[in-house]
Structure 1
Amino acid sequence: MNSEDTTIESRLRLEGASFVARRTTTTWEQFLGTLRAALASPPSSSNDFPRPGLTDRELQIAALFASRAAPTTQQIAELLALGTGTVRTHLKRARHRLGAHGLVVSSREELRSGLLAAGYLVEEV
């Protein structure tokens, strides 16, 4: 984890602890105690963060596109009875959502790796 990730995680932990403390305490001392206890806990692993929220269709199209068979967008469109433009739009949105979570997804192989890293795909044995 780089220093920027650590800073972001620390900020998220502080904000979360502050939110909980504001709603569960009545005095300033209780608030500070709750906040200190939450911040004293060890940082979570990066796997505890939610994965990118792909829609079912985005996931379906991205998984097909990233598969070892490497179908074209036209072939995916025919398979799913969709327009080619619709397939491209879903693929673009899936890449954008994965990219927003720090995953590089510019090539088929990177998209496949991103889907694996996000927990959407399981490595074939």
Structure 2
Amino acid sequence: MAWIEPTAGLAATAEAIRQIALGSPPPDTRIDPADPPLAHLTDRELQVLALYVTARGHTPAHLGQVLSLRTETIRSHLERGRARYRAAGVLTNNRAALRRALVADGWALEQQVWIDAGRP
């Protein structure tokens, strides 16, 4: 994958496309891949964990209502997500630790980002 600035111009864009077609993107267009997440979560686990760690402090019962799932199903997703982090050597025994793990993996934003954006 490569990024070409919109202001690069026609000649530079054509050269970048030629380089990419040859299998060698120009150095100024390379994007370093992000580190892979520590825990490989399912889409539903990620959805539940991300909602659970918000500043609003949603309960499993409330998340069950919002997602149209039983409370026990929500708790199961929470436990499986935490177990996946434990297996990766990350402690997530409370909401704050779970949030830090999700932030480190790029699945959640730091609380200060929300505050700076004027969000609760």
Partner of 1:3: none
Residue 114 (1) aligns with residue 101 (2): yes
Partner of 1:73: 60
Offset of 1:123 from its aligned partner?
1.9
- Do the aligned partners of 2:91 and 2:97 also contact (CA within 8 Å) in 1? yes
TM-score by length of 2: 0.61
Sequence identity (%): 41
**How many residues matched?**
79
Q: Which amino acid aligns with 2:110?
A: E
Partner of 1:123: 110
Residues 78/109 of structure 1: CA separation in 2 closer, same or farther (3 Å cut):
same
TM alignment of 1:1-125, pairs within 5 A: 48=35, 50-124=37-111, 125=113
**Aligned equivalents of 1:51, 1:92: Cα separation in 2:** 16
Offset of 1:122 from its aligned partner?
2.4
Gaps of at least 5 residues in structure 1 are: 1-46
**Aligned equivalents of 2:39, 2:100: Cα separation in 1:** 14
- Do the aligned partners of 2:37 and 2:106 also contact (CA within 8 Å) in 1? no
TM-score by length of 1: 0.58
Offset of 1:96 from its aligned partner?
0.5
**Aligned equivalents of 1:50, 1:113: Cα separation in 2:** 13
Aligned to 2:46, the other structure's residue is in SS state helix
**Aligned equivalents of 1:104, 1:83: Cα separation in 2:** 26
State the superposition RMSD in angstroms: 1.5
In terms of fraction of residues, the more helix-rich structure is 1
Query: Whose RCO is larger (CA < 8 A, sep 6+)?
Result: 2
